[in-house]
Amino acid sequence: MKKLTILGSTGSVGTQALDVVSHLGNVRVIGLSTNSNIRLLEQQIRRFRPQIAAASDEKAAAALKVAVADTNTKIVSGEGGLCEAASFGDAGAVLTSVVGSVGLLPTCAAIEAGRDILLANKETLVTAGSLVIRLAREKNVKIIPIDSEHSAIFQCVQGGGDIRRVILTASGGALFGKTRAELDGVTVEKALAHPNWRMGQKITIDSATLMNKGLEVIEAHHLFGVPYDDIEVVVHRESIVHSMVEFADNSVLAQMGVPDMKLPIHYAVCYPERIPSATPRLEFSALSRLTFAKPDTDTFRLMPMAIEAGKSGGSMPTVLNAANEAAVAKFLSGKITFLQIEGMIENALAHHKKIENPSLEEIIALDRGIKEALA
Amino acid sequence: MKKLTILGSTGSVGTQALDVVSHLGNVRVIGLSTNSNIRLLEQQIRRFRPQIAAASDEKAAAALKVAVADTNTKIVSGEGGLCEAASFGDAGAVLTSVVGSVGLLPTCAAIEAGRDILLANKETLVTAGSLVIRLAREKNVKIIPIDSEHSAIFQCVQGGGDIRRVILTASGGALFGKTRAELDGVTVEKALAHPNWRMGQKITIDSATLMNKGLEVIEAHHLFGVPYDDIEVVVHRESIVHSMVEFADNSVLAQMGVPDMKLPIHYAVCYPERIPSATPRLEFSALSRLTFAKPDTDTFRLMPMAIEAGKSGGSMPTVLNAANEAAVAKFLSGKITFLQIEGMIENALAHHKKIENPSLEEIIALDRGIKEALA
């Protein structure tokens, strides 16, 4: 019986992870968490009977405590509560599907406690990749990615062999093919209309700006130890090929599947085994065609900006990520236009004096400072 | 230093294998063989200085002996000589790139001597797959496929995981899209004009009839232990995706590369390592599109006929293969039309009384009997 804690269990990946757990039937849920969606968390507590549940929002936690007083689940709150849930009990793995750099401290707490990390929270690796990877190595903890692209790469390298190049596929997002002028008037609704994937709001906006692909390049760099110049992004509108690895001999392995987050979640939960999933099969005879093209980095400038921040290293990716989280939140609440997201991030990077090897404390302070300044 | 014997070294795969050996620089050639192309074999002997060289044709062997009398290479002849070369010295692996079921006995000799088999001679597995796989298991010998499709599958399964389905890609061959009426008048020249792969004559005709894909289904069944119903053939005109594996969880891995036989040869020679090859890289941004479609089994009837023979089992695949070798030879020499290939094989299968578990001797006798009867 596998034992699993899910942080961010009321979000898009979190709810799908619980669907996977239900399908598998042999996974015990140790802990759950939400930011403030206690109505859904209560249902999850009653269904999965975790030992601990956290609500980041203090008021929500207090209300939840009352609501589930008849259960055996311990309710904790705030950032400390999230970290307690991350390291609680005897979970073998912690699935981190919280959104944003708020995942950093609980991820570190889980690693410190020796839990494998099923990582659906890319911002943690973007903001503090070097530190997190080093800590995971020290603690002999596996990081199994859930992002479909990184799950694909992870699956492709299971057979061993030196990596020459990683080819990340990009759907192009909701605004593929648009000009700069057209981007100017993009509404929240339009930016949220992703053609292939159903995901949370923040990542869907990141997909529309192509920032998501830039963040994924940084994530891939840390997860697989591949230099930035050996990571290529290719637009693949159909989202069937989830990413590829070119090996030293120029042979390429690709992982494919229907565009359904439950597949990489299922893979990560079952790893290293492959167990029948609820995800539909790919029908090749019905595929007809798969297309590949260069991304339009003249129109979508956040992807190259993110990669530059990654290459620059030090505290630059922390600034990039914090400014992006702040800007996306502002766009979603209607306070800035779509193209102003780009401007805010560019400005934050331009005015930052890089710290070469930031500590965890410096990263957290920097992340908070930028978010407050841009809020 | 790896030590390698190459059977069929003057053919298409054989000469490319020697190119790979030259590129790698750390492989010692122990043995070589030809049917009768002693001019080329002499050059290869002078360049690679093998300990032994075989010519199947007795007269050719006698002439070769005189020609290379100044070298230290032992010259042997006939079927016995081929088997001697296959097991000679301390080669770690034998690359079998002879064409047709003539490869069966030398392959068995190499396995008996404990050599790993780098298999480019699919007819051996078609005609006697169960026996050869059993023998390889007994002798703890690896069979590493060189057929691009099977190399792809082999690469995809290196990371482990239960196979649910094998998806073999087919270029469609030189006559893709033709009607039955059009096939009737196909010349040897037209049938030899393969769109993507440069290969020997026999396999190029097999590609044109789609028999090659049927033989590959039988080969995949034996190599990977996959039931026939779990092997699907998909037409993929671009020959970039060399084949795919669907795992138990419905995740698919695909191997891709430029259509160049040197890549699977290089992979097999270097296995389990991946070492830089001379094969060009795939450029994804330049790929533009990959297409997939169902094969036209109404027009190209040899593929389903081959799969039926494989499913029927026993001596049926032996008959299928022998009749095909005889028919293709007749077509290449202008004695029958393209569509008569099909008729000859169908007829041979219809008139054969199946032997359920044929011995090696029965298989060899049957193979010879059919080839003589159809010559």
pLDDT tens digit string along A235-245? 999 999 999 99
Give the best residue of B166, B249, B262, B273 to mutate against chain A (max A CB count within 10 A). B249
Cβ-Cβ contacts under 8 Å, A165 against chain B: 281
Q: Which residue has the higher pLDDT, A198 or A229?
A: A229
Host H or E run for residue B366: helix B360-374
For chain B, the average pLDDT equals 96
> Is pLDDT above 80 for B287?
no
Compute the nearest-CA separation of B248 from chain A (Å): 5
Which of A159, A246, A267 has the CB atom closest to B155's CB atom? A159
Mean pLDDT of A337-347: 97
Q: Would an 8 Å CB–CB cutoff place B156 in contact with chain A?
A: yes
Q: What is the per-residue pLDDT across B304-342, written as a single tens digit (0 to 9) for each?
A: 999 999 999 999 999 999 999 999 999 999 999 999 999
B252/A288 touch (CB, cutoff 8 Å), yes or no: no
> Is pLDDT above 80 for B286?
no
A250/B161 touch (CB, cutoff 8 Å), yes or no: no
Asked if A211 and A303 count as a contact pair (C-beta separation under 8 A), the reply is yes
Cβ-Cβ contacts under 8 Å, B24 against chain A: none
Task: Please list the residues that pair with A2 across neighbouring strands.
Answer: A27
Compute the nearest-CA separation of B271 from chain A (Å): 10
Residue B9 vs residues B33, B45, B94, B95: alpha-carbon distances, Å = 6, 10, 11, 9
A187-201, A285-299, A351-365, range with greatest mean pLDDT: A351-365
Mean pLDDT of A248-274: 97
For chain A, the average pLDDT equals 96
pLDDT-wise least confident of A94-108, A137-151, A284-298, B206-220: A284-298
> Is pLDDT above 90 for B153?
yes
Mean pLDDT of B88-114: 97
pLDDT at A199: 81
Spatial strand order in the sheet of A163-170: A231-235, A163-170, A241-247, A252-256, B252-256, B241-247, B163-170, B231-235
Compute the nearest-CA separation of A311 from chain B (Å): 22
Confidence of residue B198 (pLDDT cuts 50, 70, 90): confident
Q: What is the per-residue pLDDT across B44-73, written as a single tens digit (0 to 9) for each?
A: 999 999 999 999 999 999 999 999 999 999
A267/B249 touch (CB, cutoff 8 Å), yes or no: yes
Per cent of chain B over pLDDT 70 is 100
Q: What is the per-residue pLDDT across B261-284, written as a single tens digit (0 to 9) for each?
A: 999 999 999 999 999 999 999 988
Q: Would an 8 Å CB–CB cutoff place B291 in contact with chain A?
A: yes
Tokens of residue B61, six digits: 């062997």
Q: Would an 8 Å CB–CB cutoff place B267 in contact with chain A?
A: yes
Q: Would an 8 Å CB–CB cutoff place A155 in contact with chain B?
A: yes
> Is pLDDT above 80 for A285?
no
Q: For residues A136 and A116, what is the distance between their CA atoms, to the nearest angstrom?
A: 9
A273/B156 touch (CB, cutoff 8 Å), yes or no: no
Q: Would an 8 Å CB–CB cutoff place B266 in contact with chain A?
A: yes
Taking alpha carbons only, the member of B231, B204, B238 closest to residue B217 is: B231
pLDDT at B68: 98
Confidence of residue A288 (pLDDT cuts 50, 70, 90): confident
Q: Would an 8 Å CB–CB cutoff place B283 in contact with chain A?
A: no
Q: What is the per-residue pLDDT across A68-106, written as a single tens digit (0 to 9) for each?
A: 999 999 999 999 999 999 999 999 999 999 999 999 999
Compute the nearest-CA separation of B16 from chain A (Å): 16
> Is pLDDT above 80 for B203?
yes
Asked if B68 and B89 count as a contact pair (C-beta separation under 8 A), the reply is no
> Is pLDDT above 80 for B213?
yes
Cβ-Cβ contacts under 8 Å, B232 against chain A: 284-285
DSSP state of B203: H
Binding-face residues of A in 183-212 toward B, CB within 8 A? none
> Is pLDDT above 90 for A227?
yes
> Is pLDDT above 90 for A283?
no
Cβ-Cβ contacts under 8 Å, B244 against chain A: 256, 284
> Is pLDDT above 80 for B91?
yes
Cβ-Cβ contacts under 8 Å, A276 against chain B: 248-250
B279/A234 touch (CB, cutoff 8 Å), yes or no: no
Binding-face residues of B in 9-68 toward A, CB within 8 A? none
Binding-face residues of B in 232-261 toward A, CB within 8 A? 232, 234, 241, 244, 246-258
Asked if B55 and B77 count as a contact pair (C-beta separation under 8 A), the reply is yes
> Is pLDDT above 80 for A286?
no
Q: Would an 8 Å CB–CB cutoff place A163 in contact with chain B?
A: no
Structural domains of chain B, ranges and CATH numbers in brackets: 2-145 (3.40.50.720), 149-312 (no CATH), 313-375 (1.10.1740.10)
A249/B277 touch (CB, cutoff 8 Å), yes or no: yes
Host H or E run for residue B80: helix B78-87
